Structure 1
Amino acid sequence: MSNQDLNEIDRKLKGMPKPALNSQRKQEIYHSLEEFSLGRSKNNRTAHITKEVFVKLAGASALALVFVLSVIFTNNDNDESISINLPDSQQGEENTRKPNPTFIVNGQTLYGVKGKLGIRKVNGEQHEPEFIGGPQGRHYEVYFWGKKDELNGKRYKMTGTHAETGGKVKLYETEISASGNSVIKADAHSAAKFSLDKPGLWKIDVTVDDKEFASFQVDARKPLTIPNEYDHAKEMLHSINKYGINIQGIHNSNYMAFFHTKPNFSMILKTDTGFISLIHLENKTGKTYKIIRKDGAEDRYLYQIIQNGKKKQLLDSNANIFFNINDEYISMTRDKKLHEKVKAIFQLE
């Protein structure tokens, strides 16, 4: 890097908002740019990109941001602080890879787009997923909201696209009729029978007279297979799997001694978002339990288990634990979001 180049950088630095970078910091920037320039020249000569050049390139790119983005400097003789607001590029993508929220009409939970289109399953087992990822077809009621003359008598088509593979499936096609005596108050309604051939996130597109009408996303799941030794908890396990927590495995846990249960009444649930310890209280004694957090040593978490007002066990953990208790079950998990989902399910039971 020539003296002319260094002088040009010095001129630009002097024109930046005050207080300017101090001399030591300027020299560090000069040195970094010079190293990058030398690395780039060597790269041109040898046509070989090394890991070291990649590191320097990343450093130079960061310096470029300092020169071209709006920056804020704190007024401190000993410390320069740069604050740059960058967009969260992953936020939008993350939001598009989630099922649409459900909504309730006349006491019924519907999937779709509120005020536009909703569907609900009307056959199958009570605790199975609303949308099964597999060959099993199910019957659905389909409800429409809009101008009746643009819906009644028209033909609708429903197609599905698997988010991971991009595979498309024609799900159903038929005519739309007046709402009639349906339990759901809608402007029009119809029916459907379809299956989503594999688990995962699916985008459902609905057209009316070949015009786009509504699009939404649903999560297709495999029906939960419960080993015989855990059949005593099948109602709760089905509920957990149905309401947004995908159970991938069930195993015995070592918490039976803490809550005086049988071995297979103390379970570890492996889910798609973490682990849940589920304790089935055979005699429905949940109201007799209370769990209190106590002070522990550094990096340790202590929980006093109390039953009928008496201290029973002290649970020592290396991580924070969230508990839910109802009449028949106690849940334990380290993940707060997973805890909140279980809490909502406990309240339903």
Structure 2
Amino acid sequence: LTPSGYSSGSNNPDSAPLKPGDVLTYELTDGKVEFDTTRIAVGTEANVQNFRFMTADTAATRANGNGVVFFPKRRVKTKILSIEPTKVVVLIISMDDENIAAQYRLGPDLPIIVKDTSTVTNNTLPVALKAQINNEAPKTSQHNLTVNGGTLSSNARRAPRGDVVSKYLDQAGNELAPQETVITNGLENAAYTATEKTIAGYELVETPANVTGKVIGNTTIEVIFVYRQLKTFEVKKVWADPIHMLDEVTLHVLANGIETGSPIVLNATNNWKETVTMPVTDMQGNAINYSVTEDTYTNYTASVEGNLTDGFTVTNTYVPTPTPVPVQPTPAPSKPTPKTSDATNVMMYGAVGIGAFCIAALIFIRKFKQSKKTSLKTFERRFFLLTLCKR
């Protein structure tokens, strides 16, 4: 429906120029046509057409001999505030140039239904329209509408229609960005595709299963994009002994004990620190426990302090290798000195010796008896020995 409505600009002495925030009301008064309310939803945008500009500055514009410049492009956008079969109220939300000195011929770009086709001649239908801006007095005018489309039999069934909207929530169900309309009053089975948003400080958990699909009649499909929060923190290196510093060190960020992301290499070039961005929660919305570890380096110990909120600091301490102490050789053990308790053994050895001596003496005496040449003195000496043995 594109009837003339309010005009604005220098050629309109009856009304101030239209501007964003103005409310326009259009009402069909003769009963020949009505708005197709099944295809118009409150809150959606509708174009209001301007058919021509009137300007005296023909040198600066492409104009015909009468100074009329035609702009097929729609320059005014509105939002539907209310809709009835014979009445629609719209709010002007934007205009290409609200200060231009020109005449706007306005009309809502909305679908209508012709109730009696016998009144249509050569695709033209005269319609009475009443228009009103804000609280000013309404104006009624007669317009010839161009009618396009087909006709329906009396028993025709209206095709079901539905809506599709996108929602952007965090894992707790809080809205992160305004809801967006994907399709309004779409025909049943019409294909749709919803689009995710880039939201600062968040990342998409997963793409919804219904991000693409088909419109369901008399139903509003909600495509819910769920995001999880991201946290940016710093990982830095501190040397307890600046004299003993390595050229670089490699650190690892662990999420619930499992390494995540790429290893972090710190050195003098990056001033021994790096910024890391990690999700605060896992896919199920549970908080992630983060920690930092460092590769092992000879003669260095590492201590880690920090958390996801404050960042992590790894401090290295140099531990020199201790000087080895010389080992003295173990002396050979000396022979043990017999103790008092060994007296019994000495006596035994002495008795054996005396016994052997006595046996030798007896053998000698026997040989003496056999020899007659032995002197008395020798005999007495041997006798003494024999007596000693007997004792």
Q: TM-score, normalised by structure 2?
A: 0.19
Q: Max radius of gyration: which structure? A: 2
Whichever structure has more helix as a proportion of its residues is 1
Which structure shows the higher strand fraction? 2
Which structure is richer in relative contact order (CA contacts within 8 A, separation 6 or more)? Answer: 2
